[in-house]
Amino acid sequence: MKLSKKQARLRRATKFRAKHAEKGTERLSVHKTSQHIYAQIISSCGTKTLAAASTLTVKVKSGGNKDAAAIVGAEIAKAAIKAKVTKVAFDRSGFKYHGRVKALADAARDGGLDF
């Protein structure tokens, strides 16, 4: 039976979460839709959100482009440093490391996060 795109993405994402839960590192989780992009810093145990940013909280003209993703990446980096988190694992939630996801990651690195 062939998996749908969403099922395949969720399967890839679950593997990452299980691997890093054992290591005990905070993770920068990304979720994107066609209109918005969201980022969260999640604790190592996976129960607390330490910092969050999205195109809904940051005022941008259009939330579905690379420029908006870069702004969200810079904001999540500021919020993470404020929460005293500098080293994270990048959880792209099964999305390809391309386009908006890459722009967010590059901006977060420039903001001071270490992946």
**Residue 57: CATH number of its domain:** 3.30.420.100
How far is 18 from 33, CA to CA, in rounded Å? 24
Domain carrying residue 84:
23-110
Is 52 part of any domain? yes
What are φ and ψ of residue 75, in 5° steps? -65, -40
What pTM value is reported for the model? Answer: 0.84
Residue 74 pLDDT more than 90?
A: yes
How far is 1 from 25, CA to CA, in rounded Å? 35
Residue 1 pLDDT more than 70?
A: no
Is 17 part of any domain? no
Is 4 part of any domain? no
How far is 82 from 69, CA to CA, in rounded Å? 20
Is 43 part of any domain? yes
Is 14 part of any domain? no
Residue 92 pLDDT more than 70?
A: yes
Q: Is the dihedral of CA 110, 112, 113, 115 positive or negative?
A: positive
The confidence band for 21, taking pLDDT boundaries of 50, 70 and 90, is low
Is 12 part of any domain? no
Is 49 part of any domain? yes
Number of domains making up the chain: 1
Is 8 part of any domain? no
pLDDT of residue 17: 72
